[in-house]
Structure 1
Amino acid sequence: MRASGLRITAAPQRIAIIGAGWAGMAAAVRAVQDGHQVTVFEAARTLGGRARGVPLTLPDGREILVDNGQHILIGAYTDTLRLMRLVNVDPEEALLRLPMALMFPDGTGLSLPDLPTPLDALAGILRARGWRLREKLALLRTASRWQRAGFRCQAHTSVADLCVGLPTRLMKEFIEPLCVSALNTPVEQASGTVFLRVLHDGLFSQRGGSNFLLPRCDLSALFPAAAARWLGERGARVVAGRRIEALKRQASQWQIEGELFDSVVLAVSASESARILADSLPETEEPLQGNMKAWAAQAAALRFQAIATVYAQAESSGSAPLLARPLLALRSNDQYPAQFVFDRDQITQSQEPSRLLAFVISASQGERLALERAVTEQAKSQLGLTVKPLQTIIEKRATFACTPALVRPSAGIAPGLAACGDYIEGPYPATLEGAVQSGWSVPQKLG
């Protein structure tokens, strides 16, 4: 029996997974659990894709591991947390759990207490600092309207449309930071449908769902590297440093560099998946070429947004923490681009302080040197700190632009060929939870 995507069969298969990011490793773990023989190919030497560890050398010569982009997980990432436990990573040790807080350096902003949902959101809004009573009531009325509508809206509705009538302060200090951190898309362009889904699952579905979970270790160690060890213990192969150029169709199988596989999962970026498909067309029979071309065209139509992370070291301030909290929201504008700043020492609980701050710029459009200059000024103005940028990482295609009525590629491409990733059709924006869910669901089609 055949279907679009991987074949439905009860027999164990030889499965190749191209890409060892979070989606690819989730797919590999699920496939091995289902009894299949799995080989994972990864072009880079480090596992994790766009959520991986990278080395950074401090001025004193110490080398530490940071990430190619500072990430926030949330308590509602139930599939990600479950999968971490499955591969022997304890989330309680690997993640710093904090109540959701969009607090600014001046002490104003929103912080949710540890209460059952939705009482935590209600209490947090009523106790928010720096908001007038009429502003708080306006947000409560708007949230109540979303709740009555079942957190659903018309497909073409933007986040800005959803929030018509909200006071400017709430847009600037709550809606915009939340939207750009979750969807990496400005409110005027961001999908209202996806934003409401994120709000529902994060704020209104379960106690602790809105909690911020900050990685204490690098992102490769947080899941992909642990998954690779788990897979190796069960006979699967993870081959790093091997870039796959193309696939070759042979009878009912797919050939990769001389090896035959019953099924292949493309767990790389949309653009890389489209390239592999294009380079595979000459070795694929005509009936399948149409499916591959159509899928690649849909993937190529996606637009992408950049995220920049500026790692900067602050001048010594004694033994006191650099920031009042491990994570603070910042007031961003054309002059000051960063929306959030992280105190790495508070998060990693390092025995030897690094005085390292991570400034995150979502939907980034600036060049490296300009961003570093702007962040240096922003740190001085908003934090009262003098910082020196040490390393700036710009992921130019970090996430797809999560716009209204966006048509995303499906998982199925052709018989025995599928894709997974945070950009694949699903309810979430480009998040680790979306990537993990996409990867976990692909092997289900094997039966």
Structure 2
Amino acid sequence: MRHMFSDRHARHTPPTRPMDPVIIIGAGWAGLSAALHLRQAGVPVRVLEAAPQAGGRARRQVLPWPDTDGIALDNGQHLLLGAYRDTLDLVAWLDGQGMDRLPLRLENAAGLQLRRRRHVLAAGTPDSLSRQLAESLSLLAAVLTSRGLSRGDRLQLVWTLFRARAAGWRPPVGVRTVAEWYQYTRQPARLVQQLWDPLVISAMNTPPALASATVFLRVLRDSLGQAPTASDFVLAGQDLAALFVDPAVDWLERHGCPVRLRTPVREIRVDLQARPHHGYLLRAFDPSAGEQQLRARHLVLATPPWTAARLLADLAPPASLAPLEGFGWRPITTAYVGWRAGNHALPTRLPPVFSLVDAQGKAQPAHWYFDRGRRAGWHLGALVISDSGEAMAQGEDALRAGLQKQLATVMGLPPAEHIVLIHEKRATFSCTDDRPLVTPGSLLPQLPGVALAGDYSYGGYPATLEGAVRSGRMAAEIILSGV
């Protein structure tokens, strides 16, 4: 099977002379993506990670669970979409395990059901016009056959999507926030409550009154505005580490590129002895060897932006680093819930993905339920609270009680027999129009050979795993252009 990942580097000529490894700081999804792209192109890399495991914000965590030795789940529930081409291509190339891919099906307790069926283009119609027509008809059929929306709501939704496509998926002039877009396009209250608000808060983790309309329409373009498979829900059957992180680390180590865990980089300086070009000295702590000094001509900083700013403080002027510290941050809380497999009050089937909007158009405290199937004698699920600052302020006991009530009243489920809360206080950047604009090559004028990677540096997209993976690819391309 051919993959875009391998094809992308097929024409790249590997270095003809020995070179120092490119040092990648951070083994999250952005750092691993950069490492894979560079190594596939024949460039040696060395990955340094301060944490005890790779994966960054989407890492594996073994959670305490009754009557078990612990259950391995993600450090917070994540959802991939079929539109995440770079991520899914890497997963396929690495033969990652445990991916469940489901056609789009949005449903909630208020009766909304929106299903998008896949289609196969007829032979002999490969041209772009035919594809656009097929994509539009697929989306039209999904909307017109949806349930839980009035005829007027369905027609308004069709008209909204048609106008958005005709406008190139760009907001009208002067419209900056999603809330302003609602008003400008005259979205009915029910459509906002049942569809748009849940999509905005889950995709952008930012309230519609602040969320960027430009970014939201770009997300719609890449999912609903493409072939039906682009809007697929992609879930990790076990955890995301098995899907991507573990295979990536294994591949790198098999190809001579170790991933060093528990190895924080404490300082970066200019290497004054580097000739004839630029170079950098890194002071890192290795748990087996102690303090080390490493030399590199090329660096990829795949860290949170505030960490990158701290490490580069002595190398670049403050004005160049200010955007790295200018992001606002928003929390996400995941509540993993479980029922013993013998609980006869539990339905035999639970929806894979369920919007927790109730008949009054509210979703409190959680916004989405994800079914995690059976594991170790338990049936598991994940409740996701986006932008969870207010929920966290309630306190653990009040939050657990609210979640139990929501499971009972919205989903009709028995009380969860075990709940584990995971709070990620700086889970995503605030996806607003005035957020800093940072790219992987932002610091090249001041720091030759230094690239940034992380979802924050993939402009024009919310904080997603796909943004992280794409930023890693872009950072690798910057390094390759200078090798």
Instruction: Give the structure-1-normalised TM-score.
Output: 0.89
* Change beyond 3 A, Cα 1:184–1:335: closer
- Offset at residue 54 of structure 1 (A): 0.5
Letter in 1 for 2:422: I
How far apart in 2 are the matches of 1:198 and 1:45?
Answer: 33
1:119 correspondence with 2:137: yes
- Offset at residue 214 of structure 1 (A): 0.7
The corresponding residue for 1:6 is none
Secondary structure (helix, strand or coil) at the match of 1:50 reads helix
405, 414, 422: which one pairs with 1:393?
422
How far apart in 2 are the matches of 1:161 and 1:183?
Answer: 16
4+ long deviations beyond 6 Å: 332-335
Letter in 2 for 1:395: E
The corresponding residue for 1:16 is 23
Secondary structure (helix, strand or coil) at the match of 1:178 reads helix
How far apart in 1 are the matches of 2:16 and 2:146?
Answer: 55
Secondary structure (helix, strand or coil) at the match of 1:232 reads helix
385, 397, 413: which one pairs with 1:361?
385
340, 344, 348: which one pairs with 2:372?
344
Question: Contact 2:328–2:435 at 8 Å: present in 1 too?
Answer: no
> Deviations along 1:364-415, whole A, 9 cap, x unmatched?
1122503222111111211222114431111111111111243322212221
Question: Contact 1:376–1:389 at 8 Å: present in 2 too?
Answer: no
How far apart in 1 are the matches of 2:16 and 2:463?
Answer: 32
What is the total number of aligned residue pairs between the two structures?
A: 422
- Offset at residue 99 of structure 1 (A): 1.4
* Change beyond 3 A, Cα 1:207–1:383: closer
- Offset at residue 248 of structure 1 (A): 1.8
- Offset at residue 39 of structure 1 (A): 0.6
Of 260-269 and 361-370, the range deviating more from structure 2: 361-370
240, 244, 258: which one pairs with 1:219?
240
1:415-434 alignment runs, 5 A limit: 415-434=448-467
1:306 correspondence with 2:331: yes
How far apart in 1 are the matches of 2:399 and 2:457?
Answer: 31
Letter in 2 for 1:359: L
1:205 correspondence with 2:226: yes
Letter in 2 for 1:73: L
406, 420, 444: which one pairs with 1:378?
406
How far apart in 2 are the matches of 1:52 and 1:213?
Answer: 17
The corresponding residue for 1:277 is 312
The corresponding residue for 2:58 is 51
93, 98, 106: which one pairs with 1:94?
98
Letter in 2 for 1:344: R
Letter in 2 for 1:303: G
How far apart in 2 are the matches of 1:66 and 1:155?
Answer: 43
- Offset at residue 334 of structure 1 (A): 7.7
1:186-265 alignment runs, 5 A limit: 186-251=207-272, 252-257=278-283, 258-265=293-300
Of 195-204 and 402-411, the range deviating more from structure 2: 402-411
* Change beyond 3 A, Cα 1:434–1:142: same
> Deviations along 1:99-126, whole A, 9 cap, x unmatched?
1122014543322222352223211211
How far apart in 1 are the matches of 2:153 and 2:400?
Answer: 35
Higher RCO structure, 1 or 2 (CA under 8 Å, sep 6+): 1
Instruction: Give the structure-2-normalised TM-score.
Output: 0.83
Question: Contact 1:306–1:397 at 8 Å: present in 2 too?
Answer: yes
352, 360, 366: which one pairs with 1:326?
352
> Deviations along 1:157-185, whole A, 9 cap, x unmatched?
21122222111111011101111111111
The corresponding residue for 1:139 is 157
Unaligned runs of 5+ in 1: 1-8
Question: Contact 2:178–2:211 at 8 Å: present in 1 too?
Answer: yes
Secondary structure (helix, strand or coil) at the match of 1:313 reads strand
186, 190, 194: which one pairs with 1:173?
194
* Change beyond 3 A, Cα 1:71–1:425: closer
- Offset at residue 425 of structure 1 (A): 4.0
Letter in 2 for 1:355: H
How far apart in 1 are the matches of 2:349 and 2:188?
Answer: 28
Question: Contact 1:100–1:210 at 8 Å: present in 2 too?
Answer: yes
The corresponding residue for 1:3 is none
Letter in 2 for 1:132: S
Question: Contact 1:109–1:173 at 8 Å: present in 2 too?
Answer: no
How far apart in 1 are the matches of 2:16 and 2:400?
Answer: 54
- Offset at residue 10 of structure 1 (A): 8.1
- Offset at residue 340 of structure 1 (A): 0.5
How far apart in 2 are the matches of 1:173 and 1:295?
Answer: 42
How far apart in 1 are the matches of 2:145 and 2:116?
Answer: 9
Unaligned runs of 5+ in 2: 1-14, 120-133, 273-277, 284-292
Query: Percent identity over the alignment?
Result: 36
* Change beyond 3 A, Cα 1:378–1:231: same
How far apart in 2 are the matches of 1:62 and 1:107?
Answer: 39
The corresponding residue for 1:5 is none
The corresponding residue for 1:442 is 475
Question: Contact 1:372–1:389 at 8 Å: present in 2 too?
Answer: no
How far apart in 2 are the matches of 1:187 and 1:424?
Answer: 22
The corresponding residue for 2:3 is none
Secondary structure (helix, strand or coil) at the match of 1:235 reads coil
Question: Contact 1:41–1:242 at 8 Å: present in 2 too?
Answer: yes
The corresponding residue for 1:83 is 90
Structural RMSD (CA): 2.1
How far apart in 1 are the matches of 2:111 and 2:49?
Answer: 45
Secondary structure (helix, strand or coil) at the match of 2:217 reads helix
- Offset at residue 82 of structure 1 (A): 0.9
